[in-house]
């Protein structure tokens, strides 16, 4: 029998709460959406801020980080450095924009967090990392 570390719903909700708090340090920015997924990219928790005009790429960023086992910024760099295109993976859910962060526990990816909506994916990534910190792992 396998023992597999997993993110709980409570942890996912805590991550969302932490990301909202981190965003609110500068609430004059464009509103964002936030997603937490398990290690297979399945959605655990999602939030879209009031007045977020439309859902962005948060779910796809989280999915990509989980299934590729890396942050989306690193995935974008990997594509660039190897001359590959995202289409070569045959997965329409993959995205190569910063803002997705893998959640690693004891060397294993147990999930990921994605944030979308800000003009700079690096700002999205900073909010996602606040969510990772709130997971307590």
- Work out the mean pLDDT of the chain and round it to a whole number: 94
**The pLDDT value given to residue 121:** 87
Q: 99 lies in which domain range?
A: 9-25+32-134
- Kindly indicate the confidence band of residue 135, based on its pLDDT and cuts at 50, 70 and 90: very high
**The pLDDT value given to residue 53:** 76
Q: Is residue 2 part of a domain?
A: no
Kindly write down the DSSP assignment for every residue of 72-102, as one continuous string.
Answer: HHHHHHHHHHHT--GGGG--TT---SS-EEE
- Kindly indicate the confidence band of residue 137, based on its pLDDT and cuts at 50, 70 and 90: confident
Indicate the DSSP class of residue 15.
H
Q: Is residue 4 part of a domain?
A: no
**The pLDDT value given to residue 22:** 97
- Does pLDDT of 29 surpass 80? yes
| Total domains present in the chain | 1
Q: Is residue 76 part of a domain?
A: yes
CATH number for the domain harbouring residue 127: 3.30.450.150
- Does pLDDT of 33 surpass 90? yes
């Amino acid at each position: 029998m396998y023992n597999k570390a997993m993110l709980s719903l409570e942890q996912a909700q805590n991550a969302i709460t932490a990301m909202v708090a981190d965003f609110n340090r500068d609430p004059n920015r464009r509103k964002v959406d936030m997603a937490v997924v398990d290690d297979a990219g399945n959605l655990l928790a999602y939030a879209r801020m009031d007045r977020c005009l439309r859902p962005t790429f948060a779910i796809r960023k989280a999915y990509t980080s989980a299934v590729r086992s890396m942050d989306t910024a690193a995935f974008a760099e990997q594509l660039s450095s190897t001359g590959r295109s995202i289409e070569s993976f045959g997965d329409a859910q993959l995205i190569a924009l910063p803002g997705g962060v893998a959640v690693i526990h004891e060397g294993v990816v147990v999930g990921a967090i994605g944030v979308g909506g800000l003009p700079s994916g690096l700002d999205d990534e900073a909010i996602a990392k606040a969510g990772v910190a709130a997971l307590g792992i």
